Amino acid sequence: MKILGEEISLLDNINYSLRNHWFLWLLLVLTAGFDFLTTLNFMRRDGIEFEKNLVVKNLALMLGIVPGVAVGKSLQIFAALGFSALSKKLTRAILLLIVLLNFWAIIVNTL
């Protein structure tokens, strides 16, 4: 694929990311799973209206708590995959950022 005059191989970048940053991908999936569970618990305990992530909040209101949060977490993983496809150089930073945000969300959800 050619973007801004530069040839980018999306599949090669994804394969590179999965091979070289497998531990961050594993952490991403694990933290996304724990964030999913703690968000469900938080929403059932306190209500959807207290969710700060507007995408997840709107999805939970439209689809229900479980499907809404599941779709929101899936979108997060697909976004990480998309950014990884676009840039080999930024993959590690993006994955680390999302993992840290998930850790933060887990902490906040359990308070």
Q: Dump pLDDT digits (tens) for 45-97.
A: 999 999 999 999 999 999 999 999 999 999 999 999 999 999 888 999 999 99
Domain hosting 12: range is: 2-110
CA separation, residue 34 to residues 7, 27, 86, 109 (Å): 37, 10, 27, 10
- Band the pLDDT of 9: cuts 50, 70, 90: confident
Choose among 58, 31, 30: nearest CA to 43.
58
Task: Write out the DSSP string of 16-76.
Answer: HHHHHSHHHHHHHHHHHHHHHHHHHHHHHHH-GGG---HHHHHHHHHH-HHHHHHHHHHHH
pLDDT digits (tens, 9 = 90+) for 24-42: 999 999 999 999 999 999 9
The count of domains in the chain is: 1
Rounded distance, CA 56 to CA 70, Å?
9
Q: What is the pLDDT of residue 61?
A: 95
Please give the radius of gyration of the chain, using alpha carbons only, rounded to the nearest integer: 16
pLDDT at 58: 96
Q: What is the pLDDT of residue 1?
A: 67
